[in-house]
Amino acid sequence: MHWKEKKIVSAPSSEIGFDKAKASWDIMKISSELVEGYERLDKISPAISIFGSARISEDDKYYEDTVELAKSLSNHGFAVITGGGPGIMEAGNKGAQQGSCSSVGLNITLPHEQKPNSYQDVFLIYRYFFTRKAMFIKHSMSYIVMPGGFGTLDELFDITTLIQTGKKAKMPIILYGKDFWSGLMEWIKTTLVQKGVVSKEEVNLLTLVDSIDEVLEIVAEHYMNTYSSKAHSKIVF
């Protein structure tokens, strides 16, 4: 019988693998990850998140730039938060440790690829991507997006959507590397804007840069304009 000629779903959820006890246990694990993250990161402020590929090698220009950028941010008084793995994440933590503020790693358990790097002052491990992303979102006042793949794009568009919809206060989302990101930005400006699914104003949530100085200028301006009334004593520009 062809599938069109019969009802596709005929069994209740309890008969197709739903495990209430497991679901309850999962909820407890999710809650514990959120609580631990809030408690351990609450005093780490202000912080900048750096996203990027785990597959970029140490001899890559973007790895080297990330080390230098993270070191500079750290010396200016910002903690640096990464995903805690290799590649760009390692570069961010390495640079932060060379500076004067905390190097934070929000690690994720994966069947392959993700191994914690050795440059983390604060080390957290997550089972779930969404609890991990909640910590990036909660504890950062700017986001720097280095070249990366699907995971990096997921983080980029998740944060962009939260700011676009007013669920997160407006703050810098900085795409670093014009040779890498220009194609994406052009597609957004042409296809998405022309189709009417994204407005021209929403495109401005993303800033494309090509130098460390540009990043520092954007971060400094945002910090001074937003937090000047309760300025952090370590921030020096």
For residue 16, pLDDT beyond 70: no
Which range of residues forms the domain containing residue 102?
Answer: 46-230
Task: Decide if 74 is inside a domain.
Answer: yes
171, two tokens? 């703050």
pLDDT tens readout for residues 103-128: 999 999 888 766 899 999 999 999 99
Closest CA to 33 of 117, 130, 167, 159: 130
| pLDDT above 90 (res 44) | no
How far from 36 is each of 106, 118, 135, 214, CA to CA, in Å?
12, 21, 10, 34
Residue 37 counted as domain residue: no
Number of domains in the chain: 1
Tell me whether residue 103 is in a domain.
Answer: yes
Dihedral of alpha carbons 142, 233, 235, 227, sign? positive
Note whether 56 and 147 are within 8 A (CB).
yes
Domain assignment present for 30: no
pLDDT at position 1:
64
* Predicted local confidence at residue 230, as pLDDT: 56
* Assigned domain for 18 exists: no
pTM across the whole model:
0.88
Compute the average pLDDT of residues 41-53.
Answer: 92
Burial of 184: CB neighbours in 10 Å, binned 0-12, 13-18, 19+: middle
Residue 162, in any domain of the structure: yes
Q: What does the alpha-carbon distance between residue 150 and residue 49 come to, in Å, rounded to a whole number?
A: 17
C-alpha of 97 from chain center: 19
Q: Per-residue pLDDT tens for 185-234?
A: 999 999 999 999 999 999 999 999 999 999 999 999 999 998 865 555 45
User: How would you class 36 by CB atoms within 10 Å of its CB: exposed for 0-12, middle for 13-18, buried for 19 or more?
Assistant: middle
Residue 87 inside a domain? The answer is yes
Q: What pLDDT sits at residue 237?
A: 47
Compute the mean pLDDT over every residue in the chain, rounded to the nearest whole number: 91
* CATH code (residue 142): 3.40.50.450
pLDDT-derived band at 19, boundaries 50, 70, 90: confident
Helix/strand/coil percent split, the chain, to 5: 50, 15, 35
Does residue 27 form part of some domain? no
